Amino acid sequence: MSILHYDFMVRALIAAVLVGLTAPAVGIYLVQRRMSLVGDGIGHIALTGVALGFLTGNSPVFSAVVVAALGAVAVELIRSRGGASGDVALSLLFYGGIAGGVLLMSLAPSGGNVNLLGYLFGSLLTTAPSDLIAMGILAALVLGFTVGLRSWLFAICHDEEFARVSGIPVRLLNILLAVSAAVTVTVAMRVVGVLLVSALMVIPVATAQQVARGFAATMAGAMALSVTVALSGAVGSFYLDVPSGASIVVLAVLVFVVVAVATAVGRRLQRRSAVTHPDHPPAAATSPAAGAGSAAAAAGAGAGAGAGAGAGAGAGAGAGAGAGAGAETPPAGAGAAPTDASRAGAPSR
């Protein structure tokens, strides 16, 4: 029987597509800012929101969104104001979030029956229709922000001071980016789990960076790869009866390893080919035979021209010599008559 006959699998596949689109759309900015572990910290504190939802009887998704957003904004404010370094702020999220989640989960009325592993590592059975609607709305908001304001977000990730001088609202965008990361963690919580969601935000981006050139191409490639991996992992977890988050992340890691190895081998072969066969200009200009033929032709043409010029010079010299001889040496008869006449007409002394 096809997996599409199961309603929970249809919801899981739709959720996988939403997660595959939103996770790298936010993760690419975190990778650019060298803050790849922020997703882990937000995931830990989102667990506190899940436990708070069970404790209060509200939707775990919305409570996780609120708590994760507050935690992400707090980390961003601490980082931007210099109150503590980035790793200290992340440590607060890591330990405080997981401890608060476990504590509140144990205080919930159904604390012993709650499937905590489903929220930690993802589960195909935990995606309810109401949760899917909420995930769709949140995913649309995240994609509208990350794609619509791509140029501004790239500017603040690349050079925050230059972006501030250029008039871009840096602090507001940083806070919105932190909230988007929190929302993305909440969206992916059902499929990947709060402990593994950061992997889907980082690994597809790192894989796309191996082959893509340019920010837009990297984002598009990461989103396409993430959707493919999320769908494949969800289907594989159904047939293998394993947690969906683990199968998705393992598949993403395998794809990264294959692409990285293939890229390294391709670059090495390209360098070796460049060393053994350096690039040449067109063969007609650089071929040895063609060059020798061209040189010989040029030499022959030069020799012919020189010979022609010499012949012309010799002819000119002969003509000049003949003309000179005719002018300076008159005929014998013509020359003697005037001389005798002059001598005869000359008076004798």
User: CA 242 to CA 254: how far, in whole Å?
Assistant: 17
Lowest mean pLDDT among 20-29, 33-42, 132-141, 302-311: 302-311
Half-sphere exposure of 192 (CA within 13 A, CB side): 34
Mean pLDDT of the chain: 74
**Amino acid at residue number 263:** T
Listed in sequence order, the residues at least 6 apart from 199 whose beta carbon sits closer than 8 Å to its beta carbon are 192, 249, 252, 253
User: CA 126 to CA 325: how far, in whole Å?
Assistant: 124
Q: How many helices (H) and strands (E) does the chain have?
A: 15, 0
What mean pLDDT do residues 236-245 have?
84
pLDDT bin (cut points 50, 70, 90) of residue 4 is confident
Residue whose token pair is 């060059």: 291
Higher pLDDT, 265 or 302: 265
What mean pLDDT do residues 180-208 have?
85
pLDDT of 330 above 60: no
User: CA 168 to CA 158: how far, in whole Å?
Assistant: 13
pLDDT at 204: 92
Higher pLDDT, 158 or 118: 158
Share of the chain above pLDDT 90, in %: 13
pLDDT bin (cut points 50, 70, 90) of residue 252 is very high
pLDDT bin (cut points 50, 70, 90) of residue 206 is very high
End-to-end CA distance of the chain: 156
Integer angstrom CA distances of residue 51 from 75, 101, 107, 335: 21, 5, 9, 141
At CA 254, angle to CA 248 and CA 258, rounded to 5?
Answer: 145
pLDDT at 347: 40
Q: Crossing angle, helix 7-32 and helix 38-56, to 10 degrees?
A: 140
pLDDT of 324 above 50: no
User: CA 8 to CA 21: how far, in whole Å?
Assistant: 20
Domains, the chain, ranges and CATH? Answer: 3-267 (1.10.3470.10)
What mean pLDDT do residues 30-54 have?
82
pLDDT of 222 above 90: yes
- pLDDT (tens digit, 9 = 90+) per residue, 61-75? 788 888 888 888 887
- pLDDT (tens digit, 9 = 90+) per residue, 79-99? 776 655 556 767 777 788 888
User: CA 293 to CA 255: how far, in whole Å?
Assistant: 55
pLDDT of 285 above 80: no
pLDDT at 86: 58
Residue whose token pair is 């109150």: 83
pLDDT bin (cut points 50, 70, 90) of residue 168 is confident
- Contact assessment for residue 19 and residue 200, using Cβ atoms and an 8 Å cutoff: yes
pTM, full prediction: 0.70
Higher pLDDT, 323 or 130: 130
At CA 62, angle to CA 145 and CA 8, rounded to 5?
Answer: 95
**Amino acid at residue number 108:** A
pLDDT of 299 above 70: no
- Contact assessment for residue 41 and residue 158, using Cβ atoms and an 8 Å cutoff: no
**Amino acid at residue number 325:** A
Query: For the residues of 55-105, what is the DSSP string, one character each?
Result: HHTS-HHHHHHHHHHHHHHHHHHHHHHTSS-HHHHHHHHHHHHHHHHHHHH
pLDDT at 278: 61
- Contact assessment for residue 68 and residue 182, using Cβ atoms and an 8 Å cutoff: yes
- pLDDT (tens digit, 9 = 90+) per residue, 264-284? 888 888 888 877 766 555 554
pLDDT at 2: 74
User: CA 177 to CA 136: how far, in whole Å?
Assistant: 18
pLDDT of 337 above 50: no
User: How many CB atoms are located within 10 Å of the residue 94 CB?
Assistant: 17
pLDDT at 315: 37
CA torsion sign for 258, 264, 267, 269 is negative
pLDDT at 251: 92
pLDDT bin (cut points 50, 70, 90) of residue 258 is very high
pLDDT at 229: 92
